[in-house]
Amino acid sequence: MATLAGGFEDPSAEVLTEAAAAFGLLASAARLHIMWALSQGESDVTHLADRVGGALPAVSQHLAKLKLAGLVRSRREGRRQIYYVDDPDIVTVVRVMVGQLTARTAPAVTRGPVSGMP
């Protein structure tokens, strides 16, 4: 690994490959919406489909991919499968990215007239 000027080492090829795969999964707007919803709290597939506006089979397939990649986990609760994000770092990444982009697109809040302006 090469050391950068800031004292950080370059990650290994394996780590970069894993990160690229995770970002690849999150590159889908539907999967990112699911991750955003799950970052707010656990849910079953029916409620997720209602929340993200997706068809139940499609949301189920997205969840299967996210689960296979280790980004989402599930547990059985009676007849339902409850999905959740068990990694606080993934929750942070999703919340920061979506939050920053939301803030950039939000209209500026007017705090009163600017001096010299009517």
The confidence score (pLDDT) of residue 86 equals: 86
* H helix or E strand, kind and range, residue 77: strand 73-77
Grouping H, G, I as helix, E, B as strand and the rest as coil, residue 3 is strand
pTM, two decimal places: 0.77
The confidence score (pLDDT) of residue 113 equals: 55
pLDDT digits (tens, 9 = 90+) for 21-72: 889 988 999 999 999 999 999 999 999 999 999 999 999 999 999 999 899 9
The contacts of residue 35 (CB under 8 Å, 6+ apart) are 26, 66, 71, 72, 85, 90, 94
Distance CA 48, CA 31 (A): 11
